[in-house]
Amino acid sequence: MYGLYCLFVLYYLRVGAVVTPTLPSSQEQQAYAAILKALADVKQSRVNLAAQVIRSRGEFDTIKGQLIYFEDSCICGRNNTIAFNSFLSKNTSSFGIQQPIYFDNITLNIGNGYDTRHGLFRAPRNGTYTFSTSVTTPASSQIAVEIVKNGEQLVQLRTINDYTWSMATNVVNVNLIKGDDVWVRHSAIGDANVLQIDDGLYTSFSGFLVHA
Ligand SMILES: *[C@@H]1O[C@H](CO)[C@@H](O)[C@H](O)[C@H]1NC(C)=O
Ligand SMILES: *[C@@H]1O[C@H](CO)[C@@H](O)[C@H](O)[C@H]1NC(C)=O
Ligand SMILES: *[C@@H]1O[C@H](CO)[C@@H](O)[C@H](O)[C@H]1NC(C)=O
Ligand SMILES: *[C@@H]1O[C@H](CO)[C@@H](O)[C@H](O)[C@H]1NC(C)=O
């Protein structure tokens, strides 16, 4: 009886010790494949997301660049006024050929475009500007002047030699690049060369930025 019991126990232990390898069922195989596929999908969407982030960052940088350019070039938000008025404060005559006319009485110079040392306007920024000049001569004298950009004629004007005062005015719109110079000079024309003012306000040079 004891021997039989031992046999039984031995049999029991043997059966219990041996792990019989069971193949996964086809259902389990499918579930496993589904998990692998889900993992692959997650990995792929991570890759896509990373690419999207890089693209978005590129777009963001582009927009930021455009914004900086826009801020720099527009007359908005900031005080970007550029405007000046200048006059001859005394009677002046005997101008040489193409001699610059120095408007010495500066009554407005917002944005410091007008260089008071040289009597010329230097564009502080790119943009479209308007310039105007008026010259006045007394009886029996006349003068011809021109507004020039970097030495290139923009407009001409001249007074008439008459029995009384005469005055000429001209206006010009011009695109300037930062650093371009605009000034008024006596023309290369032999004239009486008398530029007349009285009370300081007859002969002027002025300008302003229309649009940056
Ligand atoms: C812009 O600045 C100028 C001085 O640089 C000032 O005279 C003018 O009043 C300012 N304009 C505005 C709208 O702030
Ligand atoms: C400069 O022009 C102003 C008017 O804008 C005038 O009051 C002043 O007397 C002028 N100065 C000179 C030196 O002519
Ligand atoms: C400028 O000349 C005119 C006439 O030629 C004269 O009436 C005026 O007083 C002069 N002005 C000055 C400041 O000398
Ligand atoms: C000004 O104009 C020049 C020439 O077109 C250009 O090279 C430059 O970038 C412009 N500057 C700005 C601030 O727009």
Distance CA 87, CA 96 (A): 19
**Domain shared by 120 and 200, yes or no:** yes
Query: pLDDT by residue (tens digit) across 24-75?
Result: 889 999 999 999 999 999 999 999 999 999 999 999 999 998 888 776 665 5
**Domain shared by 146 and 68, yes or no:** no
Mutate to test the pocket of ligand 3, among 136, 137, 194, 196 (most ligand atoms within 8 A of CB): 196
Residue range(s) defining the domain that contains residue 166: 83-211
Last residue of some domain: 73, 107, 129?
73
Q: What is the DSSP letter of 154?
A: E
Specify the pLDDT at position 123.
Answer: 97
**Domain shared by 54 and 134, yes or no:** no
Residue 170 Cα, ligand 1 centroid: separation in angstroms?
Answer: 27
**Domain shared by 37 and 99, yes or no:** no
- Tokens (6 digits) for 172: 């010009």
**Domain shared by 121 and 33, yes or no:** no
**Domain shared by 92 and 165, yes or no:** yes
**Domain shared by 54 and 96, yes or no:** no
Q: Does the structure show a pLDDT above 60 at 13?
A: no
CATH code, domain carrying 97: 2.60.120.40
**Domain shared by 64 and 105, yes or no:** no
Specify the pLDDT at position 135.
Answer: 93
Q: What is the value of pTM for the model shown?
A: 0.68
Specify the pLDDT at position 205.
Answer: 96
Sheet containing strand 127-137, edge to edge, reads 105-110, 83-87, 204-211, 127-137, 166-176
Count of structural domains, the chain: 2
Q: What are phi and psi of 109, to 5 degrees?
A: -150, 60
More confident residue, 107 or 201: 107
Among 57-61, 115-119, 133-137, 141-145, the range scoring the smallest mean pLDDT is 115-119
